[in-house]
Structure 1
Amino acid sequence: MSIFEGFLSTSETLSAFSDHNFVDAMLRFEAALTRAQAALGLVPESAAHSIVGSCKVELFDVAKIVRDSGRAGSVAIPLVKALKEAVGLFNPGAVPFVHFGSTSQDVIDTAMALVTREGVALIEADVDRAIEALLQHATQHAATPILARTLMQPASVTSFGLKCAGWAAPLVRSRARLREAARHALNVQLGGAVGTLAQMKGQGPAVVQRVADELGLGNAGATWHTQRDEWVALGCELGLLTGSLGKIARDISLMGQYEVGEVAEPTEPGRGGSSAMPHKRNPVAAMVALAAAQRAPQRVAALLAAMPQEHERALGGWQAELAEWPQLLMSAHGSARALAGALPGLQIDAARMRANIDALRSELPREAADEWFDPALAGPAGETALRQVAALRAHLTAKDTSR
């Protein structure tokens, strides 16, 4: 993560996808695998005890594992080597049972599912905050007149509440789709070298289920080494969410221009300042969300491009996907966090909104001004806004109770 990327994400997502956390997730997989195999008689209890006791990230040189992964072609290879060495120090007889019946992609994909679950939960929490702030603004300003603008020009009068409801609606839909996509995608990966679990003597399906249960992941019922559709579908939903957040940020940045002055991001010490112009209030939350919206499409495109993978295990495609995935989650959460922080305290200048309408009315023929720019037009827009708010809240409640 470079100096130019850190402020576009969050410390929580950076931690979730850190080297330390990812190695810890791989070790959690190895421990769960060994426990499941021991319970089914595939691994001796004494060996399982030694292996599980060694699956502690603090026992390993994470930086060395990462360095060695470049030469090995997979971060799992130096990890398993180090784990075998650690186990062998106390119980040489347990070494053959380390990573038994699994393969590098099993441990990496499962670890990625575990850390992605952390990232998705963070994103969902901040999206919920953003939605609630928008629905509150939509209710409070249901009938507040504002210029509607099409093709960047004044079109008619609407209400700011309806605008907020329109911002919230895609987030509500995205929240539901993201949760559903995660339910389908966040599965344990365990297929062995070619997906057959042949080493597990017919106990493979039972082992997979036990590992899934312990780690709290789904069980797809089959290996998905080169079946990336559900996984990439989750990535696509993250891209859609980031685009919807970017749309809100674009509108806020335009409405916050000095010449328009209808809204402004919250003020606080050190926020949105300039190194040269002390009078400036830069919309930094919108900036972060817009940067994410411009970066996410390339990440999603890379995931889609990596899908045509060879036979049972990929050469290059899977590795490209792994490199892009954390960046997509980081951008999505950076965007969600930025707007979740700005929207509750959004400064809304209803008087300026009305002044902009009046200024335009003064330049138009009376007939056109009354037909298109009568502030009373905000009344019907407000009624629509309140209906939309009610529908969105009902949608949120229904999705929450169905979990």
Structure 2
Amino acid sequence: MSLFEGYLSTPEAVAAFSGPAVVAAMLRFEAALAQAQAEEGLVPPAAARSIVDSCRVELFDVEKIVRDSGRAGSVAIPLIKALREAVGLFNAEAVAWTHFGSTSQDVIDTALVLVTRDALDLLDADLRRCIASLLALAEAHADTPMLARTLMQPASVTSLGFKCADWAAPLVRGQKRLQQAAADALQLQLGGGVGTLAQMGVDAPRAAAVRARVAASLGLRDGGGAWHTQRDDWVALGCALALLTGSLGKLAADLALLGQHEVGELMEPAETGRGVSTVMPHKRNPVASMVALSAAQRAPQRVAALLAGMVQQHERALGPWQAEQAEWLSLWLAALGSLRALATALPGLRVDAARMQANIDRVCAELPAETVREWFAPALVAMAGDQARQRTVALRRVAG
């Protein structure tokens, strides 16, 4: 990961998708596989114990595994080689049963599912914070007048509460969309060489029993088969994440515009060292909006690459699957950075209601009285406020 990608994400997100985290997840798969095969009588119990005991990430040189993966063409190949060497130190007979009946894509895909599940927990916490902050603002400012703007120009009067509820709505929809997509996508990958589990040397029911045991051990859904080159559920989760990132970008764009000095209606919280300029001490840059906007700028390219990567050849892809892995991590790092930035900023937004009213008054002063009565009447603010309260109640019910 580059310097310029890391600072747009969070330390927790970087750690979730780090080399040690992914390798540890791969080893969890190998341990679960050996244990399941032993329980089904495919692997000697003593061999399974040796494999499980060796599946500890601290025993492995992760940096070397990453370096060697470039030449091998897969991070699984040097890892399995190192795992067999570690197993062999304690039980030479167990080496033959290590990674038995599986394939590189099984261990890599399952590991990415596991670390993505951890990332979803990070995402859900920050998403809930964003939603809660917006709904609290919607309630507190249901009747606070502000300008609505269309085509970047003053249009009519509305309320800040209505606008906050409007910002919250796609985040609540995104939350539900991600939950559904995750329920489908977070599934075990286990198919062996060509997806049939034939390398286990048993009949289909026993192979399926092994798969079910591994899935249960890892807390994943058993999809009933391999999805080596059928990536629709997985990519759908990426698309749901990209949609949420776009919604966060829209919110960030509005915040940045409302925080401009010439507008001055909503400002990100100020704190020491945040949003400062190297040469202009009077500046306070909207850093949270910047991070969210940068994520929204990059998400379309990341998800487009995921969609393009669905065109995978036969039973194992040459190129598209490998591209998908890299884009997957970049998409998640950006999205998690966007959410954390806004989850941190939204609770402390500074609302300048006086400035909002002053901006309304300035527009009204330039308009005929009839236009002011039609488009800037107090009744319009009251209507917006009522709708803000109704939407807030409904959104709270859905968000849970």
The TM-score range, normalised by the shorter chain, is over 0.9
Residue 4 of structure 1 deviates from its aligned partner by 1.2
Q: Give deviations 1:56-90, integer Å, cap 9, x for gaps.
A: 11111111111110111000000000111111112
Q: Which amino acid aligns with 2:142?
A: A
Task: Work out whether 1:61 is the aligned partner of 2:64.
Answer: no
Task: Work out whether 1:285 is the aligned partner of 2:288.
Answer: yes
Q: Give deviations 1:289-318, integer Å, cap 9, x for gaps.
A: 000000111000000000010111111010
2:397 aligned residue (377, 389, 394): 394
Kept in 1, the 8 Å contact 2:157–2:380? The answer is yes
Counterpart residue number, 1:196:
196
Distance across 1 between alignment mates of 2:301 and 2:222: 30
Distance across 2 between alignment mates of 1:109 and 1:18: 15
1:372 aligned residue (345, 364, 375): 375
Counterpart residue number, 2:142:
142
Distance across 1 between alignment mates of 2:162 and 2:7: 32
Counterpart residue number, 1:401:
none
Kept in 2, the 8 Å contact 1:145–1:377? The answer is no
Task: Work out whether 1:270 is the aligned partner of 2:268.
Answer: no
Distance across 2 between alignment mates of 1:199 and 1:299: 35
Kept in 1, the 8 Å contact 2:253–2:289? The answer is yes
* TM-score, normalisation: structure 1: 0.98
Q: Pairwise mapping of residues 174-253 of structure 1 onto structure 2 (< 5 A)?
A: 174-200=174-200, 201-202=202-203, 203-253=206-256
Task: Work out whether 1:20 is the aligned partner of 2:29.
Answer: no
Counterpart residue number, 2:51:
51
Q: For structure 1, which segment, 369-378 or 183-192, has the greater mean C-alpha deviation from structure 2 after superposition?
A: 369-378
Work out the number of aligned pairs and report it: 397
Residue 132 of structure 1 deviates from its aligned partner by 0.3
Q: Which amino acid aligns with 2:214?
A: V
2:359 aligned residue (356, 360, 366): 356
Counterpart residue number, 1:35:
35
Distance across 2 between alignment mates of 1:61 and 1:392: 48
Kept in 2, the 8 Å contact 1:246–1:293? The answer is yes
Distance across 1 between alignment mates of 2:381 and 2:144: 6
Secondary structure class of the residue paired with 2:225: coil
Distance across 1 between alignment mates of 2:74 and 2:378: 63
Kept in 2, the 8 Å contact 1:145–1:159? The answer is yes
Give unmatched runs, 5+ long, in structure 1.
Answer: 398-403
Identity level (%): 67
Counterpart residue number, 1:400:
none
Q: Pairwise mapping of residues 102-141 of structure 1 onto structure 2 (< 5 A)?
A: 102-141=102-141
2:336 aligned residue (329, 333, 344): 333
Counterpart residue number, 1:323:
326
Distance across 1 between alignment mates of 2:230 and 2:60: 32
Counterpart residue number, 2:170:
170
Q: Which amino acid aligns with 2:195?
A: G
Distance across 1 between alignment mates of 2:297 and 2:285: 19
Distance across 2 between alignment mates of 1:82 and 1:219: 28
Kept in 1, the 8 Å contact 2:129–2:343? The answer is yes
Name segments (4+ residues, structure 1) moved above 3 Å: none
Q: Which amino acid aligns with 2:65?
A: I
Distance across 2 between alignment mates of 1:149 and 1:90: 71
Secondary structure class of the residue paired with 1:146: strand
Distance across 2 between alignment mates of 1:163 and 1:272: 25
Kept in 2, the 8 Å contact 1:357–1:375? The answer is no
Distance across 2 between alignment mates of 1:351 and 1:267: 19
Distance across 1 between alignment mates of 2:184 and 2:6: 30
Kept in 1, the 8 Å contact 2:252–2:293? The answer is yes
Secondary structure class of the residue paired with 1:326: helix
Task: Work out whether 1:311 is the aligned partner of 2:317.
Answer: no
Q: Give deviations 1:117-162, integer Å, cap 9, x for gaps.
A: 1111111110100000000000110011100000000110000000
Q: Give deviations 1:336-377, integer Å, cap 9, x for gaps.
A: 101000011111111110010001111111111221123442
Q: Which amino acid aligns with 2:215?
A: A
Distance across 1 between alignment mates of 2:192 and 2:181: 25
Residue 288 of structure 1 deviates from its aligned partner by 0.2
Residue 46 of structure 1 deviates from its aligned partner by 0.9
Distance across 2 between alignment mates of 1:7 and 1:72: 30
Distance across 2 between alignment mates of 1:220 and 1:47: 28
Q: Which amino acid aligns with 1:209?
A: A
Distance across 2 between alignment mates of 1:25 and 1:313: 22
* TM-score, normalisation: structure 2: 0.98
Q: Give deviations 1:375-398, integer Å, cap 9, x for gaps.
A: 44210000011111111111123x
Kept in 1, the 8 Å contact 2:193–2:199? The answer is no
Residue 12 of structure 1 deviates from its aligned partner by 0.5
Secondary structure class of the residue paired with 1:329: helix
Distance across 1 between alignment mates of 2:366 and 2:269: 33
Distance across 1 between alignment mates of 2:90 and 2:154: 76
Q: For structure 1, which segment, 193-202 or 30-39, has the greater mean C-alpha deviation from structure 2 after superposition?
A: 193-202
Counterpart residue number, 1:100:
100
Distance across 1 between alignment mates of 2:367 and 2:46: 87
Kept in 2, the 8 Å contact 1:138–1:162? The answer is yes
Kept in 2, the 8 Å contact 1:76–1:104? The answer is yes
Q: Which amino acid aligns with 2:68?
A: D
